[in-house]
Amino acid sequence: MKTTTLCLAGLLAIMAACSAGTPSRSAVPPAVAAGFDPLDTMSPASRKADALALPLQVVTLSTRDIAAIEWFYVDGLGMTLSGPVGVGADVQARQAKLWDMPEGLGWQEYHLTRPGADIHGRPAMAIRVLVVDQDVPSVHASWDSRSYGGFSMGFPNKDQIGLDAKIRGLGFGARASSAEIYDVPRTDGSMYSIHETIFDAPDHVHAVGIDRVGMLPLGAVDSDTGLGGPGYSAQVIDDSDTVLAFYTGVLGLEVRRDSIFKSAGSDGAMALPDGTEFRFTILMSPGHGPGGHMLFVDFTNIDGIDSGVAPRVPHLGIGMWSYPVTSLDEVLRRAREAGTPIVHGPVEFADPLHGNVRAATLLAPNEFLIEVFETVAP
């Protein structure tokens, strides 16, 4: 069995186990009451009533090549592609302001979803694909794992070894030469296996195939196909204290795990230089378990790669995260208090993915775009 010290989902589980230990009886009830496994290091100790921003619901990426998107996410990962979605001129004008799109840029909107898959009653995250009609810069110039900005989306499944062969058979590469297989502990010290591959997806996005054998998957999985996700998304950042203060202070997310790790070198899942150290942080919505969580990597002893392109739509790659919130007014109040730029909003409209919403957009400290919304009556 091959062991690695640098797999994103593995780090998530290892950190949780190292810091959590065996829970006392008084620490178990919140997770048990919510239907979570107390032996799962991803189970919450907090309560959903404390949540302001709910789990991440939509990842938006921009592309010029919808055929490549379909080849990877539909033929490879089994998602359903819809579109181009009929978006009226009024709605697109509101989107253009919310997303601060350049004047004169046009786009078609597609949706990647996984109908029928859910985890704890929540569906899999969706991917909003914006097919832009002009050449625009790419957030990343390559798949180098040191590149700042939106790094990946995670795709839980029930057979990562089979999925690894399938994706490679379609002609897509990966960071490692084969699927990683390694053991991680539960909270009681017993072990389970993780199978993982970080694939090279279109537009220099990484797609992490992950199977937690014998455990709740890290996101919604279709029981018929065994394929799931997206279950989470990740960014490579600089100045993590400032970035994380935005997500915790303005959005009310909680730091579930926060540790320093050392790279396994070129043999590791991210293929980083030997000796690379980085801070690895997991953010989750209070009271929620796997699915819709976020991972952040911040290198501590090497420089990341700055392409000079803002990591946001409409630049090619991952450029926006969208969260439902329990109070948009409270998010905006916190944003103003923290000095966070409010790009646009609030504005009410019928969003093609979210339905009738009141929405606004914020600019995170690393210039990543954040959309927050609450559902309103039509």
Angle (deg, nearest 10), helices 240-249 and 328-338: 140
The predicted pLDDT at position 18 comes to 42
Burial class (CB in 10 A: 0-12, 13-18, 19+), 144: middle
Question: Is position 361 within any domain?
Answer: no
The predicted pLDDT at position 22 comes to 37
Do 12 and 42 touch, CB atoms closer than 8 A? yes
The predicted pLDDT at position 4 comes to 37
Do 83 and 70 touch, CB atoms closer than 8 A? no
Output the CA–CA distances (angstroms, integers) from residue 225 to 105, 125, 213, 376, in the order listed: 38, 17, 16, 34
Burial class (CB in 10 A: 0-12, 13-18, 19+), 61: buried
Which CATH number do you get for residue 150?
3.10.180.10
d(CA 41, CA 20): 7
Bridge-partner residues for 71, per DSSP?
none
**pLDDT tens digit sequence for 42-57:** 788 888 999 999 999 9
- pTM metric for this prediction: 0.90
**pLDDT tens digit sequence for 76-116:** 999 999 999 998 999 999 999 999 999 999 999 999 999 98
The predicted pLDDT at position 35 comes to 66
Question: Is position 208 within any domain?
Answer: yes
Question: Is position 375 within any domain?
Answer: no
The predicted pLDDT at position 242 comes to 97
The residues near 167 (Cβ < 8 Å, ≥ 6 apart) are 72, 76, 77, 174, 197, 199, 209
Residue 315, domain extent: 8-18+33-92+100-324
d(CA 216, CA 195): 14
Question: Is position 74 within any domain?
Answer: yes
Burial class (CB in 10 A: 0-12, 13-18, 19+), 102: exposed
Torsions phi, psi for 182 (to 5 deg): -155, 160
Label the pairing between strands 355-363 and 369-375.
antiparallel
Q: Which two tokens stand for residue 240?
A: 């993590």
The residues near 370 (Cβ < 8 Å, ≥ 6 apart) are 251, 320, 321, 322, 323, 361, 362, 363, 364
The predicted pLDDT at position 30 comes to 55
Domains in the chain, number: 1
Question: Is position 192 within any domain?
Answer: yes
Question: Is position 353 within any domain?
Answer: no
- Report, as ranges of residue numbers, the positions in the chain whose pLDDT lies below 70: 1-35, 267-269
Question: Is position 131 within any domain?
Answer: yes
Question: Is position 260 within any domain?
Answer: yes
The predicted pLDDT at position 240 comes to 95
The predicted pLDDT at position 176 comes to 79
The predicted pLDDT at position 68 comes to 98
